[in-house]
Amino acid sequence: MYEILENVILAPNLHRLTVKAPRVANARKPGQFVIVRADRGDERIPLTIGDADPAAGTITLFIQAIGASTLKIVSIPVGGALRDVAGPLGQPTHIENWGRVACVGGGVGTAVLFPLARALAEAGNQVTTIIGGRSEQYIILADELAAFSAEVLITTEDGSRGRKGFVTHALADLIADPARAPRVVLAVGPVPMMRAVAELTRPHGIETVVSLNPIMIDGTGMCGGCRVVVGGESKFACVDGPEFDGHLVDFAGLSDRLTTYRSFEERARHAATECRLAKEVANG
Amino acid sequence: MANDLGMKERLALGRVHMPELDATVRSRNFEEVNRGLGLEEAVREAKRCIQCKHRPCVEGCPVGVSIPEFLDALAAENLPESARILQGDNALPAVCGRVCPQETQCEAKCVRGMKGEPVAIGYLERFVADWAMANPEKLVKTQLPPATGKKVAVVGCGPAGLTAAGELARAGHGVTIFEALHDTGGVLRYGIPEFRLPKEIIDVEVSRLVAMGVEIECNVIVGKTLTLGELREEFDAVFIANGAGLPTMLNIPGENLKGVYSANEFLTRVNLMEAGRNPHAPTPIIAGRQVAVIGGGNTAMDCVRTARRLGAERAMIVYRRGEAEMPARVEEIKHAKEEGVEFVMLTAPLEIVGTDAGWVAALRCQRMELGPPDESGRRKPVAVAGSEFDLPAEVVVNAVGTRANPLLTATAPALELNRWGNIVADENGATSIPGVYAGGDMVRGGATVILAMGDGKRAAAAINSHLS
C-alpha cells in the first residue's frame, strides 16, 4: 500500500497527490511515470511523476479526473492509500543546455511539464514557459513556473486570464522575435495541442519534443498497447518514450487509437457519476 | 511394492480419460475445461505404471519429478506420501499437472507408450496436487533446515522464479521475489487463461511458498525501480527470471488499427485485468464477432479460445504452415476444434484492412504451400501467387512471439547477452557475472512453463552450492 499524504485540488477535476513510494522517489528522474491502481481489481493508470522527494520517500502526482478510474484515485482522502504504484517507468527527459528553450503546457500537461522545465532551467537554459487552458481556473502552477522561468506567458480560450487564444499564438510570436526565439521546444498537453505546436515549429526547423500518454497496461513493454508510429516506425511509448520528436510522431494515428475504448469509458463514467449522485441523494 | 496387481493385470488396464466440460457450454464461459480425475480412476491409472527399473519418465521431466515413486504411493492410496514426494520435487505440481506438455516429455518416454498408451502422468500429477491443496491438514509437515543467513533475490514471480524461490527457501536461504506487475504468478496469471489454469491454483501454490518464508514484493521493476547492481549489494546471489518481453510486430500495414492486439495485451486484459470475464472489471476489451488470431503456438490457442469465450461467433487461427507443423500442444488444438475454432491453415497475413473510422475490417491473407525444410527442420511455407483473399474480422490478435525485454539488461552492461538480447547462461543458469544466475524465457527467448521451472530448479541448486 502506498499512503496518500496530501490531496489538493488545483483546478476543476485536477488534483495534486503526494504519495509515499520510497523506492520510486529514490529512482525517479524528470519525465518518467508510474502505473497506479487505486484498489484490487482496478485498472492500471499511467501517470507522470510531477516531482519526487527521495529524502521523504514521496512522489507528487497530478491527476486529471476524467474517467471512472481517475475519479476513484482522486477521491481517496489523506491517510488513505493507493494499492499499487509501480515505477519509475519510461525514459527520463533528455536534459541539455541548449541556450533558449520554450516549454509549452496545456491543461494537466502543465503539471507534467513543470519538473521538466525546472530541470532545463537548472541545466542553464533560459526557459520561456507558455501555459494555456480553457479559462482562468484551468491555469495551474503559474507562480511555481515563474520562479525559474525567464517569462511565463499565459493564454486562455475565453480571455479570462492572459492572452485570449491558444498557446500556439504565444509561441508563434516568440519564434518571430529573434531575441527570444527558442532553439528547442518542449510541449506537453492534449494531442491536438502538441500536434499544433509541432506543425508550428516544423517550418522553422526548431527541435520539438512532445510527451505522449497513450493506452497502456503493464508499462514495461510487454503488451505493446502503447505503440505509436514515430518516423514511420512502431515505438512503444512505455519503454522508448514517453517523449518523442514531435516532428516525427503520427498524431493522427495516436488520436485515433486513443478513441478505442471511448464507448466503454462513457459507460463507466455514467455509472460512476450515477453512483455519486445516488450517494449524495442517500446522504441528503 | 504397494501395487497389488500383477504385471499382466497392470498391462491389461487401459488409459483413463480426462473428464471435460461439454464443448458447447465451455466455449461460452471461463470455467476449467479439464475437470480432473476421481480417486478411483486415479488409483487405477497409477496401477498402470509397471514400475520399470530404468525410469525413463524421470529423464523426460525437466524438473526430475520422482514419477514412479509418487505413482506407487498413489496406487497404494497413500496420498500424503504421494503428495510429499511430488511436492518435494516440484514447487508447482498443480500448475504442471495442467499446463505441461507431458506428451512430449515424461509420457513420451513411458515404456507403456511403446506398445499402447503411456500412463497419464500429467493427470495423476494434477490429481495428487489438487488433493494436497484440498487436504493441507493431512500433508506430511516438512521441517525447514536452520536459516543459513544468506539472502537471495529472485527477479520475476513466474514459473522459473517461484520454483527457484521454493528450492532456495527449502535450503534455508532468505528469499525475496521482486515482481514488476501488481500480482504474483507472471505468465501463469497474465498469460494462461482461467479455463486452463484457474487463478486460485496460483494463489494456493504461491501461499505455500510464502508460508515457507519467501517474501514477495510486487510493483518492483528491476532495471527501473531497482538496478541489478543494487540487488547485488543487498543480496548474496540473484536469480533473473523476468520472462518474455516485447511482442514481435508483424510489420504489415494496418497494425495500429483499433482492434489489433498483441497476444500479450489481449491475454493480459482478460486474464490479469479480468476484462470481459468479470462484468465489474474496469479494464475494457474489444471482443469482436469475428476474430483472427495469427500464429500456431499455445499462446495462439489461448487467444483464440479466449476470443470464443468473449463471444466471437467466428474465432480463427491463421497459420502459415499446416496443422502438423503447429507448435501448439495436441490437447490445445483438440480443445480449440471442439469449441468451434476454425483453423485457416497455410495462410499468411499480408495486411490488416480498416474501416474509414480506423477499426479493423478484415485480415488480408495469402495462401501458402509447403516447400523444402528450413533450418528449423520444418517445411518452409512459400506464397502461392495470386491467392490473396480477405477474412472479415473486427479483432486481429498477433500471437507470433516475443522479443527480449531490455529493461533489466539495459542497466546491467556487464551481463552478457546473445544477439537477440537474451541473457547468456550456462546449463546451471550461471551468467557472465559471478553470483548472478538467469533462467526461463529471458534466457530461452520463449519456451514453456516447465522448461522455465527446470531452469529455476537447476539455478537454485547452483546458487545453493555457490553460497555454501
Look at residue B1 in the predicted model and tell me its pLDDT. Answer: 47
CA angle, residues A10, B281, A43, in degrees to nearest 5: 40
Look at residue B144 in the predicted model and tell me its pLDDT. Answer: 86
Between chains, do B218 and A84 touch, taking CB under 8 Å as contact? yes
Q: Which of A190, A192, A214, A258 is nearest to B358 (CA)?
A: A258
Q: What is the mean pLDDT of residues A146-174?
A: 94
Decide if pLDDT at A147 tops 90: yes
Look at residue A67 in the predicted model and tell me its pLDDT. Answer: 84
pTM of the model: 0.92
CA–CA distances in Å: residue A270 to residues A115, A237, A265, A274, B247: 34, 29, 8, 6, 34
Percent of chain B scoring above 70 in pLDDT: 99
Going by DSSP bridges, is the β-strand pair B151-155/B237-240 parallel, antiparallel, or unpaired? parallel
Cis ω before A54 (30° cut-off from 0)? no
Look at residue A276 in the predicted model and tell me its pLDDT. Answer: 62
Q: What's the farthest any 2 CA atoms get from each other in chain B?
A: 72
Decide if pLDDT at A4 tops 70: yes
Q: What is the mean pLDDT of residues B7-34?
A: 92
Q: What is the mean pLDDT of residues B442-461?
A: 92
Between chains, do A224 and B280 touch, taking CB under 8 Å as contact? no
Look at residue B240 in the predicted model and tell me its pLDDT. Answer: 97
Look at residue A120 in the predicted model and tell me its pLDDT. Answer: 95
Q: pLDDT: is B161 or B4 the higher one?
A: B161
Decide if pLDDT at A262 tops 90: no
Q: What is the mean pLDDT of residues B185-207?
A: 95
Look at residue B379 in the predicted model and tell me its pLDDT. Answer: 82
Look at residue A266 in the predicted model and tell me its pLDDT. Answer: 81
Look at residue B204 in the predicted model and tell me its pLDDT. Answer: 93
Three-state SS at A208: strand
In order, the DSSP letters of B147-162 are P---EEEEE--SHHHH
Strand order in the sheet with B151-155: B215-217, B174-178, B151-155, B237-240, B436-438
Highest-scoring range by mean pLDDT, A132-136, B379-383, B436-440: B436-440
For residues B180 and A31, what is the distance between their CA atoms, to the nearest angstrom? Answer: 20
Helix A251-258 crosses helix A191-201 at what angle (to 10 degrees)? 180
Between chains, do A86 and B182 touch, taking CB under 8 Å as contact? yes
- Is A229 near chain B, with CB under 8 Å? yes
Decide if pLDDT at B84 tops 80: yes
**β-pair partners for B174:** B151
Look at residue B420 in the predicted model and tell me its pLDDT. Answer: 92
Count of CB atoms situated within 10 Å of the CB of B12: 10
pLDDT tens digit sequence for B88-146:
999 899 999 999 889 999 999 999 999 899 999 999 999 999 999 999 999 988 788 99
Q: Do A95 and A118 meet the contact criterion of CB atoms below 8 Å apart? A: no
Count of CB atoms situated within 10 Å of the CB of A23: 20
Closest Cα in chain B, distance from residue A248 (Å): 16
Please name the residues in contact with A147: beta carbons below 8 A apart, sequence gap of 6 or more.
Answer: none
B interface residues, A as partner, C-beta within 8 Å: 180-182, 190, 218-221, 224-226, 244-247, 249, 255-256, 258-259, 261-262, 264-265, 268-269, 273-274, 278, 280-284, 286, 358, 405-407
CA–CA distances in Å: residue A100 to residues A23, A149, A172, A200: 34, 11, 15, 17
Residues of B in contact with A229 (CB under 8 A): 256
Decide if pLDDT at A260 tops 50: yes
Cis ω before B193 (30° cut-off from 0)? no
pLDDT tens digit sequence for A272-282:
666 666 666 66
Q: Which of B182, B400, B402, B403 to probe by mutation at the A interface, max A CB count within 10 Å?
A: B182
Q: What is the mean pLDDT of residues A159-175?
A: 94
For residues A95 and B16, what is the distance between their CA atoms, to the nearest angstrom? Answer: 66
For residues B243 and B235, what is the distance between their CA atoms, to the nearest angstrom? Answer: 21
Cβ–Cβ pairs < 8 A, chains A and B? 110
Closest Cα in chain B, distance from residue A211 (Å): 19
The x, y and z cell numbers of residue A23, run together, are: 523506492
Q: What is the mean pLDDT of residues B208-220?
A: 95
Between chains, do A41 and B406 touch, taking CB under 8 Å as contact? no
pLDDT tens digit sequence for A201-258:
999 999 999 999 888 899 999 999 999 999 999 999 999 999 999 999 999 999 999 9
Look at residue A277 in the predicted model and tell me its pLDDT. Answer: 63
Look at residue B245 in the predicted model and tell me its pLDDT. Answer: 83
Q: What is the mean pLDDT of residues B33-57?
A: 95
Decide if pLDDT at A34 tops 80: yes
Query: What value of ipTM does the predicted structure carry?
Result: 0.90
Look at residue B3 in the predicted model and tell me its pLDDT. Answer: 57
